[in-house]
Chains A and B, each alone.
Chain A
Amino acid sequence: MGAPDEIIHQQVRLRIMATLNALKDGERIEFTRMKAILEATDGNLGAHLATLENAGYVAVEKDFVAKKPRTRLAMTRAGRKAFTNHVAYLRDILDGTAPEEKTSGARQ
Chain B
Amino acid sequence: MSVSRQDAAAALRDIEDTQARSVTLREYQHAAPHFLIWGVIWAVGYGLSDVFPRQANAVWAALVPIGLVAGFFVSRGRKPANGLRYGASALALFVFIAATFFVMAPVGGRQIGAFIPLFVALIYVLRGIWGGSRYVVAGVAIAALTLGGFVFLRSHF
A43 to B37, CA, bound (A): 36
B 56-84 binary contact with A (CB < 8 Å = 1; else 0) = 00000000000000000000000000000
Would B4 and A102 count as touching, CB distance under 8 A?
yes
Indicate if A55 sits at the interface (CB-CB under 8 A). no
B residues within 8 A CB of A15? 14-15, 18
The residue among A21, A87, A90, A104 with the most chain B CB atoms within 10 A of its own CB is A90
Indicate if A11 sits at the interface (CB-CB under 8 A). yes
Please report the total number of B residues contacting A with Cβ < 8 Å: 21
B 13-49 binary contact with A (CB < 8 Å = 1; else 0) = 0110011011101000100000000000000000000
Would A22 and B1 count as touching, CB distance under 8 A?
no
Would B6 and A104 count as touching, CB distance under 8 A?
yes
Interface of chain A: mostly helix, strand, loop or mixed? helix
A18 to B12, CA, bound (A): 10
Give B12 Cβ to nearest chain A Cβ, in Å. 5
Q: Chain A interface residue count: which class?
A: 20 to 34
Indicate if A99 sits at the interface (CB-CB under 8 A). yes
Segment with Cβ contacts to B, from A33-41, A62-70, A72-80: A33-41
Interface residues of chain B, those whose CB is within 8 Å of chain A, are 1-12, 14-15, 18-19, 21-23, 25, 29
Q: Can you report 23 A-B residue pairs in the complex whose CB atoms are below 8 A from each other?
A: A11-B11, A11-B14, A18-B15, A18-B18, A22-B19, A33-B29, A36-B25, A37-B21, A38-B18, A87-B12, A87-B15, A90-B3, A90-B11, A93-B8, A99-B2, A100-B3, A100-B5, A101-B4, A102-B4, A104-B4, A104-B6, A105-B7, A107-B10
Beyond the given pairs A33-B29, A100-B2, A104-B7, 20 more chain A to chain B contacts, judged by CB atoms under 8 angstroms and listed by A's residue number, are A11-B14, A14-B14, A15-B14, A15-B15, A18-B14, A18-B19, A19-B19, A19-B22, A22-B19, A37-B18, A90-B11, A91-B8, A93-B3, A93-B4, A101-B3, A101-B4, A102-B4, A105-B2, A105-B4, A105-B7
